[in-house]
Structure 1
Amino acid sequence: MRLATLTLAAVTLMTAGSALAAGSVTDVDYLKASRCRGIAGVTAPDTTDLDAWLKAASKTRDSSVLAKGANTQDAARREAKTTNPERKARLAAELSGPCQAFKG
């Protein structure tokens, strides 16, 4: 009985912690993730994680932030279509570095 109570308490705390983390997403994080999605849309074969993150984060965003996110994503998509090898390397590093925070 005591083990079941402790297990239930641990599960409740983990759930509350993940809900708190999801609620603390800033508009800046949303815009960064939008940029990552724009880059990944051109260079990465699978964007499922980013799409799910953006969908969850968009529920609490103001319409102006959503519009800015769409513009940021479009600009990043255009930038990712470059033929410049140095820019491609920089975008690949961004996608494999900071953008990993928005996956899973």
Structure 2
Amino acid sequence: MKFAAIAIAAATLAAATGSTAVAAERVSDMDYMRASRCKGLATTLTGVVDAGSIDAYLKSAKGARSPVVYDRADAEFDRAKREARSEDRKARLTAELTGPCSAYLGGPAVTAKR
């Protein structure tokens, strides 16, 4: 009887730990859309940040998301590219790219540690 109780407790603990690890690595939909915007900035403002790093982040964070999230992320990407073409916004967008966007220069696990 004691063995069964210990086995059940151990299984419950293992299941809880595993689901916590998965939840910690899951990237929110909002972060996914922000990273897509950052990719749009990085592809247009060349030489500031490597767009490939952000693209790798997006690929690793893709997961099973709603089609609405993918559509919104694409719209953010396109909007960021349009904004980055404007000369009067370049300084502000470069600051955004080197500041908040630097959080998306690694995989989701790296971002969770920052």
Query: Normalising TM by the smaller chain, what interval?
Result: 0.7 to 0.9
Tell me which residue corresponds to 2:16: none
**Matching residue within 56, 59, 63 for 2:63:** 59
Distance across 2 between alignment mates of 1:69 and 1:60: 14
Percent identity (aligned): 44
Cα gap change, 1:22/1:44 in structure 2, threshold over 3 Å: closer, same or farther? farther
Count of residues in Structure 1 that have an aligned counterpart in Structure 2: 86
Tell me which residue corresponds to 1:43: 45
Q: CA deviation at 1:44?
A: 2.8
Structure 2: unaligned runs, 5 residues or longer: 1-19, 107-114
Tell me which residue corresponds to 1:88: 90
Distance across 2 between alignment mates of 1:101 and 1:38: 15
Which ranges of 4 or more aligned residues in structure 1 deviate by more than 2 Å? 19-22
Give TM-score, length-normalised by structure 1.
0.74
The structure with more radius of gyration: 2
Give TM-score, length-normalised by structure 2.
0.68
Supply the AA of the counterpart residue of 1:102.
Y
How well do the aligned residues superpose, as a CA RMSD in angstroms?
1.8
Tell me which residue corresponds to 1:22: 25
Structure 1: unaligned runs, 5 residues or longer: 1-15
Distance across 1 between alignment mates of 2:95 and 2:69: 26
